Amino acid sequence: MKKQTDETLVGQDFSYKLTVKATAKEALKRIAQVNLWWAKNFKGKAGKLHDEFSVHFGDTYVNFRVSEFIPGKKVVWLVTDCNLGWIKAKKEWKNTEVIYTLTEKGEKTQIDFVHKGLTPESECYESCKPGWTGHLKGSLQKLIDEGMGFPE
């Protein structure tokens, strides 16, 4: 296992850990508020099992379904369709999973994020890695800790 600051390659899938000043229940609620930390152009719902939603960035879009939901512990978003406008493999994320696993540690919660299927061999890996890191650390963490994220 290779470590670089908070970022880790676990079995090759992109992963990231962050610790927030909230209960796991509150952190999951904020994760589901996708339009407040990731994408202003958000349609649908992301708060419970089988919810479906999409995020749009110009001609790029990603459609998700909440495929697993364990209150206060875990949520998994399955990519059901996508168009990654900046790369040749426009459907590269299709059937990948975005996984958030939460563990309460005192008055804080550790969020273990994994984008299962986003590997160093992926065409978008080098651009998606800093993208996810920025959204997680620079926006989701600020939304949870300070009440304001910075969605695109």
Q: pLDDT tens digit string along 33-51? A: 999 999 999 999 999 999 9
Query: Would residue 38 count as lying in a domain?
Result: yes
Alpha helices in the chain (DSSP H): 24-31, 125-135, 141-146
Task: Find where tokens 């719902």 sit.
Answer: 45
Q: Which residues pair with 51 in a beta bridge?
A: none
Instruction: Name the burial class of residue 87, with classes exposed (0-12), middle (13-18) and buried (19+) by CB atoms within 10 angstroms of its CB.
Output: middle
Question: Is the entire prediction scored with pTM above 0.85?
Answer: yes
Confidence of residue 4 (pLDDT cuts 50, 70, 90): very low
Alpha-carbon distance 124 to 90, whole Å?
10
Query: Would residue 130 count as lying in a domain?
Result: yes
- Report how many domains make up the chain: 1
Query: Which residue segment(s) compose the domain that 126 sits in?
Result: 2-146
Query: Would residue 100 count as lying in a domain?
Result: yes
Query: Would residue 17 count as lying in a domain?
Result: yes
Q: pLDDT, tens digit, for every residue of 74-84?
A: 999 999 999 99
Query: Would residue 151 count as lying in a domain?
Result: no
CATH number, position 33: 3.30.530.20
User: How crowded is residue 121: how many other Cβ atoms within 10 Å of its Cβ?
Assistant: 7
Confidence of residue 10 (pLDDT cuts 50, 70, 90): very low
Q: pLDDT, tens digit, for every residue of 51-70?
A: 999 999 999 999 999 999 99
Q: Cα dihedral angle (140, 126, 2, 141), rounded to 10 degrees?
A: -10
